Amino acid sequence: MENNEILLFKEKAVKQNRVWVRISNVCNNNCIFCLDSYSHNGTFVEEKLIKKQIKDGFKSWYENRVIISWWEASINPFFSEYIGYAKEIGYDRVQTITNWVMFWNQEFVKKVIDAWLEEITFSFHGHNETLHDYLVATPWAFKKSLSWLIHIKKNFPKIIINIDIVVNKINVVFLPDIIKFFLKLGVYEFDILQIIPFGRAFFPQNKKRLFYNIKENIAYLRETWKLSRISWMYMWTNRFPAEAFEWYEDLIQDPKKIKSEVMWEWREVFDIFISSKWKQKPQCFWDTCEYCFQKDYCHNFLKYKGIKNIKDKKSDNRLVFIKSKNFVSDIYKEFWENKENFITFLKQEKEKWNILINIPKCLFWSWMYQTYDDMDWNYTLEDYTEKYITNLYRKKSLSCKDCKYNNECEWIHINFIRAYWFSILKAIK
């Protein structure tokens, strides 16, 4: 598929109403990279609360998908009942994410499939016992899991099977081999997740052996991204910095996924931050920032915190320009399919206003400004998240480090990179 065709397919998937439902605070693995190990308290979530989440999450006139997960959902004795309940509510698809351990039981497998479990994401972090079992800290995990993946593919061919892999310093060099191993088994959908600095992953004894430098391992990542070009292959990426995808920009995570990250997984952290009027920073602040995908989102939140940050006396022209078009979201919607039309538009606006907003100097030597921000104390987390996605989420190329304007550049919005690729940016030396 062409780049924009891939983007359209992924945009459609992201627009689904996806509801994540946690049903377990128990796990039968001990993954050394687990981001949420602090919540493992040996309990199951109350049935009444689970059913309420499933029911409240459903939206009429949407394509609805529920993901029953967290941490090992299949351990919950009512696992199959929750699957059936979601189908009764009207969900188009019920999915789970699992480590496979419970699927050794044929009776269990039949029970959950009869309840209309339609998609299973199995967690494999290696392509052999040595690598996988070490990372999940559970003996025989790979052998058992693999045997049941093969069993389900053979006996239940209508079940959608995909695999997620948490990429870390230990397995990144083997990532292309892991993908190839499962391709040979007939698995064609992968979710590649970058390790994040929370829970057990950030314990002192794990930090150094798990977190890695993207630039130093870019060759292994690019060899992996190249496999996404195989016919019928579906590759999704999660929480990787955009710079990891130069030449494979269609794999950059859709910015709308930030909503689900914040609204579902990190909501409590940010709510406390907002209610304290920015004084009580997230508990993870600073220590984890260097390794965290959400760094720019959080730091912009702190940076603007209700102040209209205007950088130059020429702001009047700038505000007029913003009134004429809501940069960048409206411009992206209009021009994302055609790079030449986008360039023509920039030329016309440059001639009209003699000023461009948040466009790197390598595109027509524009003036540089920070994005106009009107956040105030009354704004909600949803308000800020929407503003960040449409205007503040910007990136640059790895080659931009050689540009003489690198330090002052405000970069370009992530969607233009996804549409036109990093090559639209040229370092001025």
pLDDT score of 229: 92
Q: What is the DSSP letter of 357?
A: S
12 burial via Cβ count (<10 Å: 0-12, 13-18, 19+):
exposed
pLDDT score of 291: 87
How many residues does the structure list for the chain?
429
Q: How far is residue 129's CA from residue 137's CA, in Å, rounded to a whole number?
A: 11
Q: Which of 222, 188, 162 shows the shortest CA–CA distance to 398?
A: 222
HSE-CB at 248 with a 13 A cutoff on CA atoms is 20
Say which amino acid occupies 1.
M
| Cβ within 8 Å of residue 177, ≥6 positions away | 127
**Burial track 370-386 (b if 16+ CB lie within 10 A, e otherwise):** bbbbebeeeeebeebbb
pLDDT in tens, the chain (429 residues): 455 555 555 555 556 788 888 888 888 888 999 887 767 677 888 999 999 999 998 988 888 999 988 778 888 889 999 999 999 999 999 999 888 767 777 788 888 888 889 999 999 999 999 999 999 999 988 998 898 889 888 888 889 999 999 999 999 999 999 999 999 999 999 999 999 888 888 888 888 899 999 989 999 999 999 999 998 889 999 999 998 998 999 899 888 888 877 766 667 777 777 677 667 766 676 778 888 888 888 877 766 554 343 333 333 433 334 444 555 566 777 777 778 888 887 777 777 766 556 678 787 665 444 444 455 556 677 777 887 887 778 888 878 888 988 887 778 888 888 888 888 888 888
Q: How far is residue 274's CA from residue 282's CA, in Å, rounded to a whole number?
A: 10
Q: How far is residue 267's CA from residue 275's CA, in Å, rounded to a whole number?
A: 12
CATH of 3-254, one of 3.40.640.10, 3.20.20.70, 3.40.50.2000, 3.40.30.10: 3.20.20.70
Which runs of consecutive H residues, i.e. helices, occur in 229-380? 257-260, 267-275, 295-304, 315-324, 329-335, 339-353
Q: How far is residue 296's CA from residue 393's CA, in Å, rounded to a whole number?
A: 8
Q: Which of 214, 243, 216 shows the shortest CA–CA distance to 396?
A: 243
pLDDT score of 316: 40
Name the CA radius of gyration of the chain, rounded. Answer: 23
pLDDT score of 309: 38
User: Roughly what angle, to the nearest 10 degrees, separates helices 175-184 and 218-226?
Assistant: 20
Instruction: Indicate yes or no: pTM above 0.85.
Output: no
Q: What are phi and psi of 288, to 5 degrees?
A: -100, -10
Q: How far is residue 10's CA from residue 2's CA, in Å, rounded to a whole number?
A: 13
| Cβ within 8 Å of residue 315, ≥6 positions away | 369
**Burial track 164-194 (b if 16+ CB lie within 10 A, e otherwise):** bbbbbbbbbebbbbbbebbeeeebbbbbbbb
Q: What are phi and psi of 17, to 5 degrees?
A: -80, 105
CB pairs under 8 A, 24+ apart, for 285-291?
287/197, 287/202, 288/197, 288/198, 288/202, 291/195, 291/196, 291/197, 291/202, 291/211
Q: How far is residue 318's CA from residue 85's CA, in Å, rounded to a whole number?
A: 53
The structural domains of the chain, with segments of one domain joined by +, span 3-254, 289-424
Contact criterion met (CB below 8 Å) for 368 and 361 = yes
Q: Which of 271, 253, 182 shows the shortest CA–CA distance to 11?
A: 253
Q: What are phi and psi of 402, to 5 degrees?
A: -90, 0
Q: Do you find a cis peptide bond into 187, omega within 30 degrees of 0?
A: no
